[in-house]
Amino acid sequence: MGSNTGDLVTRVQSAHLFDHDALFRYAADNVSGFPTNPSQFTISQFGHGQSNPTFLIAVGSGSSLKRYVLRKKPPGKLLQSAHAVEREFQVLKALGEHTQVPVPKVFCLCTDPTVIGTAFYIMEFMEGRIFIDPKLPNVSPGRRTAIYRAAAKALASLHSADVDAIGLDKYGRRANYCQRQIDRWFKQYLASTSEGKPVRNPKMFELVDWLRTSIPAEDSTGATSGLVHGDFRIDNLVFHPYEDRVIGILDWELSTLGNQMCDVAYSCMHYIVNVQLDKEHVSEGLETTGLPDGILSMPEFLLEYCSALGKPWPAANWKFYVAFSLFRAASIYTGVYNRWLMGNASAGERARNTGVQANELVECALGYIARENVLPAHPPSGKRDVSRPSYESLVDGTGRFVPNRKVLELRGKLIKFMETHIYPMEKEFAKLAQSDLRWTVHPEEERLKEEAKRQGLWNLFIPVDSAARARRELAAIENKQSFDQLFGEGLTNLEYGYLCEIMGRSVWAPQVFNCGAPDTGNMEVILRYGNKEQIAEWLIPLLEGKIRSGFAMTEPQVASSDATNIECSIKRQGDSYVINGTKWWTSGAMDPRCRVLILMGKTDFNAPKHKQQSMILVDMRTPGIHVKRPLTVFGFDDAPHGHAEISFENVIVPATNILLGEGRGFEIAQGRLGPGRLHHCMRLIGAAERGMELMAQRALSRKTFGVFIAQHGSFVSDLAKLRVELEGTRLLVLEAADHLDKFGNKKARGILAMAKVAAPNMALKVLDTAIQVHGAAGVCSDTVLAHLWATARTLRIADGPDEVHLGTIGKLELQRASKL
C-alpha cells in the first residue's frame, strides 16, 4: 500500500536545522490564514527525496491543526543553477492558478537568506498516498492498473499545459533541449568530481560522446517541446487518500521548457533499472525481473500516455531518450554523493551509496545502447491508433456530442475543484448537518463559493439567451458593468450538461457553484420572465450568492403532480395580493439564507383550467408565513438546505411581485421545468458515475470466499450491464439538452420526459448495486452512497412523477403513429 504523506517525516537532520521562531514570524505575516497564536508549532523533515530539503509544518491549537510544507535550498556551497526553489515556486503558481495540472497550492516565496539561512517557499500539505516502490506491493492487481494509468494521465496533463497562455513562455528555451541538457549535466558531473571526490568515471565520457552524436532531429525543431517536469516518477506523485487518481505532482526543481519525451523516458526508468538508496547497488528493472500482476508493461504505459495526447509511437528514438535519462540520473547521483561527502545531503546517511550507484547507471546506459531492440516498432496489438487523440483529448472535434475546448477546460477545472475542495469536505459538511447546529451554514461553504467565483466556475447553468435578456433589463441600472461576471460563461444546455454531471457527484457540490436546485430554476424564471425591478431586487442577490430561495408549489392536501389541483389562493386587494394556503416540500426554505419564494397559486378559480394559476415572488420575512416543520427524505433532512412545510395566513405582498401577469403560472412552469428537470438528470449521471467508481474500487480491494469481489463472474456481468445502461442514459440526456437548445421546451418535451424517466431509474440501479457491494458500509453514513440513493429516489417523483412523463411519451408516440 502507499505511504500516507504525513507518515514520511522524521526529526530535522542536524545539518538542516534553522531558526523556527524566524520562520513562524515570516509565515504569520505572509501566509493567509496562518495561525498567529498557536499552542503548537512543530517542524519535521520529509525523509523521501534527494534534492531540496522539505519540511512539514504543523501549527494550531487543540484539534484545530493546520499543516503546511516548506521547501528550501540546502545549506552550504551549491552548484550553479541547482536547487532553484524560486523556479519551483514560479511553475507551481502558474499551473495552480491557470491550469488543471494537479499541483499543490503555493502561498509565499522568501528569497531573503537572513530569515532561515536559504531561500524557501511554503505550499499546502496534500493529504494522500505516495507509492515509494513502483512494484506497488500489497496493492490489488486492478488498483495497480488504475494507479499506473492515473500516472500516465497526470504526465499527459502536465504536458498539455499551454505555457504561452499561463505566463511560462520564457521559462526556458524550447529547441535544442537535449543538447543543452547534456552539456549542463556533464558540466555538473565535472564540477561534482573536480577535486577527485568522487573519482571521475571514464565511461561517463564515452556515454556523453554517444549522446551528443545521437540527438534526435525532433529536438532541434521543437516538435516535442513544451513544459518539462524533469523528475517525473511515481514516487513524486500524491494520490488521493482512497481513490486511484493523482491529486499532486511534486518536486519541480528540474522543470523547464524543452523536449517532453525526456520526461516520458525518465518516468519509465523503473522498467529499466531499480535504484534504492538503502541498497548498495543498482539492480535490474521490472522489464527484466517481471511485472507484478496488474502493472502496465512499458509499452502499455507509453500507449496510455500517447493516446491521451495524440502523440506518435516513440520507438524510433526511444533508445536515445532512455540512455539520456540514465546519464542524467548518474550525474544527479554523483552530485548527491558529493553533497554527502560534504555533509549536507538532504537524505543524510541514506546517500552514502549514491557514488557506486552513479557508476552503475553509466554501465546500464551503455548496455541499453548496445541492445538491438528496446521497444516494439508498433504499439501493443488490439489497442487504438495512438496517432488519433482519445475522446478525452478531442477539443474541437466534429463528433455530435464531443465537448469543445471551452467546455473541456471548464470541466477540467471543475474536476480539480471537486477533488481539491469538495470531496475532502464531505464528511465535515455531513457532520454539521447531523448536529444540533444543522440549520446553520458551514463557514467553509462560503469560502468555497468565493473560490469558485475566483476560478470562473460560478453560475455556469445560465443559458446565453437568458443572460442577454437580463442584461437588457439592467441597462438602465447604474454600475451594470459589475453584474457581467454574474451571468456565467454563456453556455448552451448541452455544454452545461458536461459540467452539471461533475457537480452531481456530490450532494454538497452544486450550491458551492451556485448551481443548486431550486435556486437555478428560480433564477431562470426571473431571468426569463422577471421585470427590471424584480431582477434588481431578487435576481442580482441570488446570482451573487448572497441569498437563497425556495419554490412553493406542492400541497399536502391534493395530488400536486396535477398542478390544476392546487388550492392555494392569491387574491388581489388594491395594490397587493393576499396569499392563503399550505405548501410542503418547499425545498430550500429551511436555509437561513432563504429570502424569497416563488409561489404558485390560483388568482382566478373560475378561469379556464390552465389559466387559473399564477406565480408570485414572496419575501420570506413577510408576516403570516409560518414554517411548520422540516420534512425528511428517507431520514435525511438535507440540512441546512431542507424541505419545509409552510402555511401562508393572509400573507400580503405587493402586486408588483406577480411574475409575467395573472394566469401565466402554467406557462412559466413549463419554461422553468424544462431546463430544471434536465439539470436533475445531468446530476444523476454524475451520481451514478460516483457509484460506479466507488463500487469498482470496493470490488478490487475486498475479498469474499478467497477471491476479490471483482473476480466473481456475476459481479463482472452486473458491472458491465450497468455501464451499458449508464452510457445509454448519458446520450439520452445530452440529446435532450441538444433538442432543448435547438427547438425549445415545447418541442423537446418528449425527449425531456424520456430523460426524466430514464436517469433516476438508471442511477438507482447503479447506486443500489454499489450499496450491495459495500455491504453494511453502503447503508450507513460512512460512504455517500445512501444519501445519493435517497436523492435519486425522490427524483422519480420530484418535478413530475414517472407516470406523468410516461404519459407524455406515450401520447406523443400515438400522435406520431396517427399521422402515418
Q: Which amino acid is at 74?
A: P
What cell numbers appear for 274 in the block? 531499480
Taking the C-alpha atoms of residue 111 and residue 94, their distance in angstroms, rounded to an integer, is: 18
Q: Clarify whether residues 571 and 644 are in a common domain.
A: yes
Q: Which amino acid is at 217?
A: A
Confidence of residue 384 (pLDDT cuts 50, 70, 90): very low
What cell numbers appear for 320 in the block? 536515445
Element (H, E) at 789: helix 785-794
Q: Clarify whether residues 763 and 637 are in a common domain.
A: no
Element (H, E) at 628: strand 625-630
**Cβ–Cβ under 8 Å, residues 549 and 527:** no
- Answer with the one of 311, 345, 370 that is the final residue of a domain: 370
Q: DSSP H helical segments within 350-492, as ranges? A: 354-370, 405-417, 426-433, 443-454, 464-473
Instruction: Say which CATH number the domain at 27 has.
Output: 3.30.200.20
Taking the C-alpha atoms of residue 625 and residue 431, their distance in angstroms, rounded to an integer, is: 30
**Cβ–Cβ under 8 Å, residues 672 and 525:** yes
What cell numbers appear for 229 in the block? 517536469
Lowest-pLDDT choice from 89-98, 187-196, 718-727: 187-196
Nearest to 461 by CA among 498, 431, 421: 498
pLDDT value of position 560: 87
Q: Clarify whether residues 80 and 182 are in a common domain.
A: no
- Mean pLDDT rounded to a whole number for the chain: 89
| Prior bond of 518 cis (ω within 30°) | yes
Q: Name residue, grid cell 532553484.
A: 84
Beta bridge partner(s), residue 54: 71
pLDDT(386) > 50: no
What cell numbers appear for 805 in the block? 412523463
Q: Clarify whether residues 213 and 107 are in a common domain.
A: no
Residue 234 within any structural domain of the chain: no
Residue 146 within any structural domain of the chain: no
User: Residue range 44-63: average pLDDT?
Assistant: 83
pLDDT value of position 79: 56
Strands 548-552 and 594-602: parallel
For residue 55, the SS3 value is strand
Three-state secondary structure string covering 544-555:
HCCCEEEEECCC
Taking the C-alpha atoms of residue 201 and residue 214, their distance in angstroms, rounded to an integer, is: 21
User: Residue range 789-815: average pLDDT?
Assistant: 94
pTM for the structure as a whole? 0.56
Q: Clarify whether residues 551 and 661 are in a common domain.
A: yes
User: Residue range 600-617: average pLDDT?
Assistant: 95
Strands 703-704 and 707-708: antiparallel
User: Residue range 495-499: average pLDDT?
Assistant: 94
Q: State pLDDT tens for residues 243-267.
A: 889 999 999 998 999 999 999 999 9
Taking the C-alpha atoms of residue 390 and residue 304, their distance in angstroms, rounded to an integer, is: 10
- Answer with the one of 646, 666, 686 that is the final residue of a domain: 666
Residue 56 within any structural domain of the chain: yes
Confidence of residue 538 (pLDDT cuts 50, 70, 90): very high
Q: Is 138 left (phi over 0), alpha (psi -120 to 50) or beta?
A: left
Q: Clarify whether residues 782 and 760 are in a common domain.
A: yes
Nearest to 438 by CA among 628, 587, 631, 639: 639
Confidence of residue 48 (pLDDT cuts 50, 70, 90): low
Taking the C-alpha atoms of residue 336 and residue 681, their distance in angstroms, rounded to an integer, is: 56
Residue 248 within any structural domain of the chain: no
Taking the C-alpha atoms of residue 339 and residue 341, their distance in angstroms, rounded to an integer, is: 5
**Cβ–Cβ under 8 Å, residues 781 and 769:** no
- Cα 280 to Cα 174, 192, 276, 351, 357: the distances in Å are 37, 20, 8, 10, 7
Taking the C-alpha atoms of residue 589 and residue 642, their distance in angstroms, rounded to an integer, is: 7
**Cβ–Cβ under 8 Å, residues 581 and 567:** yes
Residue 165 within any structural domain of the chain: no
For residue 23, the SS3 value is helix
**Residues in the chain, how many?**
820
Taking the C-alpha atoms of residue 379 and residue 377, their distance in angstroms, rounded to an integer, is: 7
Residue 381 within any structural domain of the chain: no
| DSSP codes, 507-538 | TTHHHHTT--TTHHHHHHHHHHH--HHHIIII
Strands 40-46 and 9-10: antiparallel
The sheet with strand 54-61 has its strands ordered as 9-10, 40-46, 54-61, 64-72, 120-124, 106-110
Structural domain harbouring 761: 673-818
Q: Clarify whether residues 690 and 655 are in a common domain.
A: no
Residue 148 within any structural domain of the chain: no
Beta bridge partner(s), residue 71: 54, 121
Confidence of residue 64 (pLDDT cuts 50, 70, 90): confident
Q: Name residue, grid cell 401562508.
A: 648
Listed in sequence order, the residues at least 6 apart from 661 whose beta carbon sits closer than 8 Å to its beta carbon are 614
Q: Clarify whether residues 628 and 688 are in a common domain.
A: no
Q: Which amino acid is at 318?
A: W
Structural domain count of the chain: 4
pLDDT value of position 482: 59
Q: Name residue, grid cell 504526465.
A: 155
Q: Clarify whether residues 487 and 561 are in a common domain.
A: yes
Residue 486, φ and ψ in degrees, nearest 5: -85, -10
Instruction: Say which CATH number the domain at 189 has.
Output: 3.90.1200.10
Q: State pLDDT tens for residues 134-164.
A: 999 988 888 899 999 999 999 999 999 999 9
What cell numbers appear for 339 in the block? 553533497
Rg (C-alpha) for the chain, rounded Å, is: 30
User: Residue range 415-431: average pLDDT?
Assistant: 92
pLDDT(672) > 80: no
**Cβ–Cβ under 8 Å, residues 334 and 356:** no
- What is the four-CA torsion angle of 71, 74, 75, 76, rounded to 10 degrees? -160
pLDDT value of position 394: 35
User: Residue range 269-285: average pLDDT?
Assistant: 85
Taking the C-alpha atoms of residue 43 and residue 33, their distance in angstroms, rounded to an integer, is: 18
**Cβ–Cβ under 8 Å, residues 623 and 544:** no
pLDDT value of position 717: 95
Count CB atoms within 10 A of the CB of residue 337: 24
pLDDT(673) > 80: no
pLDDT value of position 395: 34
| DSSP codes, 572-590 | EETTEEEEEEEEEEEETTT
Taking the C-alpha atoms of residue 554 and residue 560, their distance in angstroms, rounded to an integer, is: 5
Taking the C-alpha atoms of residue 668 and residue 666, their distance in angstroms, rounded to an integer, is: 5
Best-predicted range by mean pLDDT (11-15, 59-63, 718-722)? 718-722
CA 61 to chain centre: 30
Q: Clarify whether residues 655 and 709 are in a common domain.
A: no
- Answer with the one of 352, 370, 388 that is the final residue of a domain: 370
Taking the C-alpha atoms of residue 689 and residue 420, their distance in angstroms, rounded to an integer, is: 18
Provide the 8-state DSSP code for 403.
-
Q: Clarify whether residues 537 and 633 are in a common domain.
A: yes
Beta bridge partner(s), residue 579: 570, 651
Taking the C-alpha atoms of residue 200 and residue 442, their distance in angstroms, rounded to an integer, is: 62
pLDDT value of position 743: 81
Residue 286 within any structural domain of the chain: yes
pLDDT(569) > 80: yes
Taking the C-alpha atoms of residue 535 and residue 531, their distance in angstroms, rounded to an integer, is: 6
Q: Which residue did the predictor score with more confidence, 342 or 87?
A: 87
- What is the four-CA torsion angle of 426, 429, 432, 438, rounded to 10 degrees? -130
For residue 566, the SS3 value is coil
Count CB atoms within 10 A of the CB of residue 319: 19
Sign of the dihedral defined by the CA atoms of residues 215, 217, 219, 224, in that order: negative
Q: Which amino acid is at 817?
A: A
Instruction: Say which CATH number the domain at 623 has.
Output: 2.40.110.10
Q: DSSP H helical segments within 531-664, as ranges? A: 532-534, 540-544
**Cβ–Cβ under 8 Å, residues 600 and 568:** yes
pLDDT(347) > 80: no
Listed in sequence order, the residues at least 6 apart from 249 whose beta carbon sits closer than 8 Å to its beta carbon are 101, 102, 103, 154, 158, 229, 232, 236, 237, 238
pLDDT(50) > 70: no
Q: Clarify whether residues 24 and 53 are in a common domain.
A: yes
Confidence of residue 398 (pLDDT cuts 50, 70, 90): very low
